Every structure is written in C-alpha cells, then in structure tokens.
Amino acid sequence: MTVSVATSPDATRKGFEKSAMPLGIVLLIASVLASLCVGRYEVPVWRALEIILGGLVQPFAEHAEIDERIVLLVRAPRTLFAVLAGAGLAVAGASLQAVFRNPLVSPQVLGVSQGAALGGAFAIVMGIWGLPLILLVSLGAVLALVLVGLLAGIGGRSEMLTIILAGMVVGALGSALVSLVQMFADPQSSLPAIVFWLMGSFSTLTWERLWVGGPGIFVAVAFLYAMRFRLNVLALGETEARTLGSNPDRERWIIFALVALIVGSQVAVSGIVGWVGLVIPHAARLLVGEDNRRLIPTAILFGAAYMVLVDTIARTATAAEIPLGILTAIVGAPVFALLLRQYQLRKAR
C-alpha cells in the first residue's frame, strides 16, 4: 500500500474506495463510544459501557445514580445529536457542491446558515421555541437559498464566482438583519439567548431537544442518501441531465428543501456550526472520488465521526465549554489547506 502511494495515486484511491466505508463505520462507532465514556465527570470506562448497555436494554428505566444520569441524560443526547448534525452538514455540503457543480460551496458560503440564523433570532425575540422555531429557521434557510439561486441563476450556466458572490451578498444581508433583530431584543432575556445560540454549542442538548431537531435531519439525510445517483446526474449539468431523462429543476428544489431542513434543524437546536459542510465532503472526495454514490455515504460517516470528536473535545478539554465554531474552524481550516495542497500535488503528477 505504501508503495502504491508513491507510484500510482489512482491505485491508492482504488484501495480507499473499498476501505473508506468500513473505515468510516469503525471510526463512527469508536468515536460515539469514546464520547459516551469521556467527560469532565469521571465515570470508569467499564461502568460507562455497563450504563450504555443498561440504557439500550431498558431505555425507559429511571436513572437513580448520578453517573447513569451523566452518561444517559447529558452525554447520550448530545452525542447522538452530534452524529446527526455532523452527518447532515456534511451531506448538505456535498449535495450543494454537486448541484452548483462547484466545490467551494457550503451552507455557510451560500448564506444558508445566516438565513437560518435570521429566522431563529426572529423566533427567539418573538418568544417562539420548539417545532415552530425549527420551521422559522428552515424558512430562513430556504429563503436564503432561493435568493442565492435567483441572484446567480442556478440553471447550470451560472459561474462559480457569481454563485459565491451571491452567497456572500445574501449571507451579509442575513447577518445584518440578525444584528438588527439583536438591537431590538430584550437585553435581559432574549439577547443573551440569541448571542449564545449563534455561537454554536451542543451544551444545552437534552432528549427533548434531540426529538425536536433530530428527526428532520435524519429524514433529510436519508432522502439525500437515496438521491445520490440523481446528484451525479445533476452534477453533469443542465443539458446532460435533461438528455438523461431527469427533471433537473424539480430535483434541485427537492435537494434545496432537504438541505434547508438539515441546516434549519441543526441551527435551531445548536446554532451555527461552520466548516463541516466544506471540509468533510472534500476529505471524502479525496478518499473515494467524485462519484456521489460513494461520496455521499462516506461524507455521512466521516461527518458524523468528526462532529462527535470535535464536540467531545469542546466539552472535555477545559472546565469551560469551548464554542464549537472555534474548534471546527481551528481543526477544519488546516485540514482543508492540507487537502487542497495534496489535491494540487496529485493533479500536478
């Protein structure tokens, strides 16, 4: 294997294509278990495993012991949501990249996250929580996407630069409107709530919140997974997609709605988490190539594992919670730079 790296990059990728999926599954299971066993409160690993097993066997049992509560009521919902959020953001990024035929787009670059934030800030000021909050956040996400689509012309002919610029414009508008909403928010109650929520953190995750935000992400990820072949067709471009008997307009809108549902659910529960939608699809692309039939499941697995690991660091590294946005950027940016460099090298060969 090491020899083939030096001699033939294509052979390497062939090797990864087969091993990426099992590797992702192992990584995900390992990170979830590690996340449940590690934390500020010391629960011995064997005891944590025993508690997890107990929780699986009797999910509705009363938890009397403090260590049971820590593992099952604090860590478990948080870890599960990290799995969903990571998988969702990664697959949302990969899908958008296919639809826009542009490797640089992600929910944040396209202004979708900012649109979602606007919907959420508005909802918090109005005192709206729970499911209606998610609907408003998703609506904000959809509106932002539609606006970017209209500005850039999504008919397959739109240029990379136009899309990115349109996303920047919409994102800037969204951020400005969020600031405007903050100006009118009550400084005692809703303003701190908005500020904290925008920073992005899973620290307030409970089972109730998981049930509010989780199902939407799960359904949308499942649908996008099912549409992975369609994404390949869309990535070919307008004419080719029509020639192949597909209805690109309708499918694009379905994908937008699914992406908005993912970003909306995730942002509604845990605020803006950046970088995952950009870094993970690229990492997956380097491992398994452009084919979305492999890329989508790989991105799902690696995105989930990555988010779980980052969140575990966020809550265990120091006594204070580290905002997720800081970690995803600090880990994400160098990894992205490294990937970019390798990609260039490979192309040069």
Partner 1 sequence: MRSPLLATLASVFLASIAGAQEINLTDMEGRAVTLEKPAERIATFPMPMASVVVSMDGGIDRLVGMNEQSYAAHFEGLLGTIFPEAADIPFDFVGNGFVPNVESLVTLSPDLVVQWGGRGNDIVDPITNAGLSTLLVLSGTEDNARGSQSLIAEAIGKPERFETMLHWRNEVVAAVEAKAAAIAKDDKPSVLYMLRSLSEITATGRENHYNTWYIEMAGGISSSAELNGTVPISAEQIAVWNPDVILLNSFEPELSVDWVYDHPILSQLAAAQEHRVYKMPIGGYRWEPASQESPLTWMWLANLLHPEVYDFDLRAEMRSAYEFLYNYEVSDAEIDSILRMDMQGDAANYAQFRAQ
Q: Assess 253 for contact with partner 1 (CB under 8 A).
A: no
Of 197, 275, 302, 306, the one binding partner 1 by CB under 8 A: 197
Among residues 329, 231, 339, 236, which one has the least CA distance to residue 284?
A: 339
Q: Closest CB to partner 1 among 202 and 306?
A: 202
C-beta of residue 105 within 8 angstroms of C-beta of residue 167: yes
Q: Which of these ranges, 20-28, 187-195, 257-265, 327-335, lies near partner 1 under the rule CB under 8 A? A: 187-195
Q: Assess 175 for contact with partner 1 (CB under 8 A).
A: no
Cα separation, 320 vs 107, in Å, equals 28
Taking the complex as a whole, the smallest distance from the CB of residue 192 to partner 1 amounts, in Å, to 5
Q: Which residue has the tokens 């928010």?
A: 185
Q: Assess 317 for contact with partner 1 (CB under 8 A).
A: no
C-alpha 268 chain-centroid distance? 13
Cα separation, 30 vs 42, in Å, equals 19
Of 34, 182, 218, 333, the one binding partner 1 by CB under 8 A: 182
Q: Assess 203 for contact with partner 1 (CB under 8 A).
A: yes
Of 14, 23, 151, 196, the one binding partner 1 by CB under 8 A: 196
Of 128, 160, 193, 335, the one binding partner 1 by CB under 8 A: 193
Torsion of CA 288, 293, 298, 303, to 10 degrees: 120
Q: Which residue has the tokens 């599954």?
A: 25
Which residues in 308-346 are b (16+ Cβ under 10 Å) and which e?
A: bbbbbbbbeeeeebbbbbebbbebbeebbeeeeeeeeee
Q: Closest CB to partner 1 among 34 and 73?
A: 73
Judged by CB under 8 A, the chain residues 45 through 104 that form the site for partner 1 are 63, 66, 69-70, 73-75
- 3-state SS, one letter per residue, for 126-177: CCCCCHHHHHHHHHHHHHHHHHHHHHHCCCCCCCHHHHHHHHHHHHHHHHHH
Q: Closest CB to partner 1 among 39 and 289?
A: 39
Q: Which of these ranges, 111-119, 125-133, 189-197, 304-312, lies near partner 1 under the rule CB under 8 A? A: 189-197
Residues 6+ apart with CB under 8 A from 331: 310
Q: Closest CB to partner 1 among 10 and 186?
A: 186
Torsion of CA 4, 9, 14, 19, to 10 degrees: 70
Q: Which of these ranges, 15-23, 51-59, 202-210, 278-286, lies near partner 1 under the rule CB under 8 A? A: 202-210
Q: Assess 306 for contact with partner 1 (CB under 8 A).
A: no
Judged by CB under 8 A, the number of residues near partner 1 is: 29
Q: Closest CB to partner 1 among 201 and 298?
A: 201
Residues 6+ apart with CB under 8 A from 189: none
**DSSP conformational letter for 206:** -
Q: Which of these ranges, 95-103, 143-151, 203-211, 287-295, lies near partner 1 under the rule CB under 8 A? A: 203-211
Judged by CB under 8 A, the chain residues 318 through 347 that form the site for partner 1 are 319-321, 323
Residues lying near partner 1 in the complex (CB under 8 A) are found at 39-42, 63, 66, 69-70, 73-75, 182-183, 187-189, 192-193, 196-197, 201, 203-204, 206, 315, 319-321, 323
